Amino acid sequence: MNGLAIRAEGLTKRYGDVPAVDGLNLSIPAGSFFGLLGPNGAGKTTTIHMLSTLIRPSAGEAWVAGHSVRTESLAVRSSIGVVFQENALDHRLTVAENLRFAGRLNGLSSREIRQRSDELLELFGLAGHRDRPVAALSGGMRRALDIARGMIHRPRVLFLDEPTIGLDLPARRAIWRHIGRLRASLGITVFLSTHYLEEATDCDEVAFLSNGRIVERGAPGPLIAQLGRCIVEIETDRPAELAKRLEPRLGPVLVEADRVHLRCEDEPGALLQAELASLGSAMRWRRPNLNDVFLWVNRAQTDRRQAA
């Protein structure tokens, strides 16, 4: 499987006439960390379900670990681990029993299961909880266990569908530590979907999905760098009006709720600061991040649509 872990060509899923995923092309190198980003309803889950053979594409084809998702579903399923948006655990069984069940379903022997469970529970900080029922675990621990469940058969590719959704900040951080350690120790390919864009900063490559189509892709660093070094946000009651006034002088601006965003090559000087601050009720500047990439891509899309 040297080369690509995941390849998709024109992958499409339609519901009625409405495409949930529309002509997706992907090539994800083995061992890399890929992030599929987009708001709710963008088509992330549908993409993951097609790649993991759970739903059938309406058109197009994809290969995971070299196997076709259309014709070799069992081979695909044995080389992937999937952590669904909602837990795939039996809440009435204990931590160890859940891993044992998942291991058995994946054809592992008792010895393999015991050994890997120990490793994974250690790695995920659950070693002291092996005999507790899942129902008694916190949300963060359940999520960690669910990832361990998805890794019990040592898949080459791990799909994570919004792995931190519904978790508090410490639990989210813990999940990211676990995933980082997994990647470091096993060299697996990780396919992440999330709408918390800032979580994808460590990805090797990200793709922004909007209404089932990829609207931007690339490495997070360059994508962020191309926005400049600084984003200025001005809070105001009349964002549209302010945007119209600023645009001719300061270049493209973007309106997000009650804020106007400006891109600057550098931090604004004292004079400009004072002026901008006087325009709205509050003003601040900061470094751009992946959220900004998404906002500016959307803005460009809207412009293009209006021009057409």
Partner 1 sequence: MIVRPVLGVLERETLKLLRERGRLVSAMARPLLWLLVIGAGFAATRGAGAAEYQSFLVPGVIGMTLLFGAVLAALATVYDKESGVMRMLVIAPVAHHWIVLAKALGAAAVAILQALMLLALLALLGYVSTELSIPLLAVGLIGTAFTCASLGMLIAAWSRTLENYATLMNFVIFPVFFLSGSLYPVQMLPDALRLAAAVNPFTYGVDLLKHAAIAGPSAAFDPDFSAVLDLAVLAGFSAAALFIASLRFSRETAYEPLVHRLAGRRGE
Ligand X SMILES: Nc1ncnc2c1ncn2[C@@H]1O[C@H](COP(=O)(O)OP(=O)(O)O)[C@@H](O)[C@H]1O
Binding site for ligand X (CB under 6 A): 15, 20, 38, 40-46
Which of ligand X, partner 1, Mg ion, none does residue 121 bind (CB under 5 to 8 Å by kind)?
none
Choose, by CB under 8 A, the member of 100, 172, 261, 263 that binds partner 1.
100
Q: Does 165 bind partner 1 (CB under 8 A)?
A: no
DSSP H helix total and E strand total for the chain: 10, 14
Among residues 35 and 103, whose Cβ is nearest to partner 1? 103
- Interacting stretch for partner 1, rule CB under 8 A, among 79-87, 121-129, 217-225, 297-305? 79-87
Tell me how far apart the alpha carbons of residues 194 and 184 are, in angstroms, rounded to a whole number: 21
92 binds, among partner 1, Mg ion, ligand X, none (CB under 5 to 8 A by kind): partner 1
Beta-carbon contacts of 227 under 8 Å, excluding residues fewer than 6 positions away, are: 263, 288, 292, 293, 296
| Contact letters for partner 1, residues 19-58 (x by CB under 8 A) | --------------------------x---x--x-xxx--
CB 235 within 8 A of CB 45: no
CB 250 within 8 A of CB 269: no
State the Cα–Cα distance between residues 210 and 192, nearest whole angstrom.
16
Using an 8 Å Cβ cutoff, are 215 and 208 in contact? yes
Query: Minimum distance between the CB of residue 159 and Mg ion, rounded to whole angstroms?
Result: 12
CA 195 to CA 180: how far, in whole Å?
19
Using CB distances below 5 to 8 A depending on partner kind, what does residue 89 bind out of Mg ion, partner 1, ligand X, none?
A: partner 1
The nearer residue to ligand X, 19 or 66, going by C-beta atoms, is: 19
The number of residues that bind partner 1 (CB under 8 A) is: 33
Query: 224 Cβ partners below 8 Å, 6+ apart?
Result: 288, 289, 290, 292, 293
From the list 106, 273, 291, 301, which residue makes contact with partner 1 (rule: CB under 8 A)?
Answer: 106
| Smallest distance from ligand X to CB 51, Å | 12
Query: How far apart (Å, rounded) are the C-alpha atoms in residues 233 and 260?
Result: 6
